[in-house]
A and B are shown apart, each in its own frame.
Chain A
Amino acid sequence: MTPLAYRVVHRRDEAADVVTLDLAADGPGIDEPAPGQFTMLYAFGAGEAPISVSGCPADDGVLRHTIRAAGPVTRALCDLAPGDPVGVRGPYGTGWPLDAAAGRDVVVVAGGIGLAPLRPVVQRLVAERDRFERVALVAGTRTPDDLLFAPELAGWRGRFDLQVEITVDAAPAGWRGDVGVVTGLLPRMPFDPGRAVALACGPEVMMRVVARHLLAAGVSADRIHVSLERNMQCAVGHCGHCQLGPLFVCRDGPVASWAVAAPLLEVRRR
């Protein structure tokens, strides 16, 4: 439960309120996180927040987190500069089921900051491309200026073995891409609904709508996986802040199949 000492080695402004921090351990580091897992990042003097890993050392050599300034702790994290210390504990939670996706079409659906936890997935899909059938990424964001990892997305779009589609909620005149919700792009994506595995991360309403579309297309609930977001504090299933029905999201999630998540989210709505 004690944070390990890390230091910011690089920071990049992704959008107006989103920053990516590359971290290096001052001494012993945390275990290698799997795509989809999160850590608790401690901003000294401000507090701790759960942040999904947006780049795994095994993939690109650094422990990378992409953070949106949404409150005092994440604002403090976003204000960190190279050389600043930060505490890290973890990794926690469940990862994306990439082994279960091997040999199948994979559909990745990201909304807003939800692209961050899915970035290591896409990196892994690209690195191990032969293990998977068709791979598609759909990403939605507010405006073109809010698009995360733009250079990397451009690289992925340039590949012949990856279909990448981007859509925004609104754009200035001159935008030549799609405008609309991510579900509008799903009919264009190449996947066999009877075998495909879908991975979705974004606002809960978006994931619900995406799941509804995928189910209607014929993707079964146990092959749709979402990343749940709840108020996580201890991250080890003790404090109960993130309890969702029988799940502690920090321990039993954040990644869960729609078969598991749907009834719980239905309960939350009543």
Chain B
Amino acid sequence: MRTSTMRDLLAGQAVFAALEPDDLDLLAGCARNVRFDAGSLLAREDEPADGFYLVRHGRLAIELHAPGGPLVVDSAVAGDVVGWSWLFPPNRWTADVRAVEPARVVAVDGRCLRDKCEVDPAFGYRIMRCFTRVMIERIEALRIRLLDLYGTSRAG
């Protein structure tokens, strides 16, 4: 019986669909499977961002501290990538990430991946394209939420 490898797992993720076969090997070399119990923190705001997570099972909440208590401002489920601060200085998380139910994730070491991107800029470009797509989707969604659509209505 063939055991599914990290590379196979990453190859099946839409977010990495644009990567080439060799890229997946490079990426898999920086990745490991991790489990988190419900309620545990995967990342804490302002702490060093040394990687990102790809959700395999479960649900993560992205929380911001606000007057009155923490707010959940985004969520992530299977197939979603959480974390891009590892890419850019100062490499610190800008929000808390919490497992709201038992979660299995792929944790990718950002320093390991950054080093590989520096050595092979073409690989780095393709990785950057993957993350840019994630960022664009998040920005488009945030733009719509900024309109506070459900909070306004035609007066009558």
B23 in the interface, Cβ–Cβ < 8 Å?
A: no
B73 nearest CB neighbor, chain A only: A170
Which of A170, A205, A229 meets B71, CB within 8 Å? Answer: A170
Interface contact B141-A169, CB-CB below 8 Å: no
Contacts across chains A and B counted by CB atoms under 8 Å: 89
Q: Which of A44-85 contact B (CB under 8 A)?
A: 49-50, 68, 70-74
Which of B71, B72, B156 meets A49, CB within 8 Å? Answer: B156
Interchain nearest-CB distance for A72 vs B (Å):
8
Q: In whole angstroms, how far apart are the Cα atoms of A179 and B70 in the complex? A: 14
Which of A71, A140, A142 meets B156, CB within 8 Å? Answer: A71
Q: In whole angstroms, how far apart are the Cα atoms of A188 and B59 in the complex? A: 14
Which of B70, B75, B77 meets A172, CB within 8 Å? Answer: B70
A103 in the interface, Cβ–Cβ < 8 Å?
A: no
Interface contact A206-B154, CB-CB below 8 Å: no
A180 touching B155 in the complex, CB below 8 Å, given contacts A111-B149, A112-B149, A175-B72: no
Contact with A along B60-100 (1 / 0, CB 8 A): 01110000011111110100000000000000000000101
A188 nearest CB neighbor, chain B only: B77
Interface contact A70-B150, CB-CB below 8 Å: no
A173 touching B69 in the complex, CB below 8 Å, given contacts A178-B77, A183-B141: yes
Interface contact B151-A176, CB-CB below 8 Å: no
Chain B residues touching A, majority SS? mixed
Contact with A along B121-156 (1 / 0, CB 8 A): 000000000000000000001001101111111111
A181 in the interface, Cβ–Cβ < 8 Å?
A: yes
Q: Interface size of A by Cβ–Cβ distance < 8 Å?
A: 38
A202 in the interface, Cβ–Cβ < 8 Å?
A: yes
What chain A residues lie within 8 Å of B77 (beta carbons)?
178, 188
Interface contact A70-B73, CB-CB below 8 Å: no
B25 in the interface, Cβ–Cβ < 8 Å?
A: no
What chain B residues lie within 8 Å of A71 (beta carbons)?
154-156
Interface contact A112-B100, CB-CB below 8 Å: no
Residues of B within 8 A of A (CB): 59, 61-63, 69-75, 77, 98, 100-101, 141, 144-145, 147-156
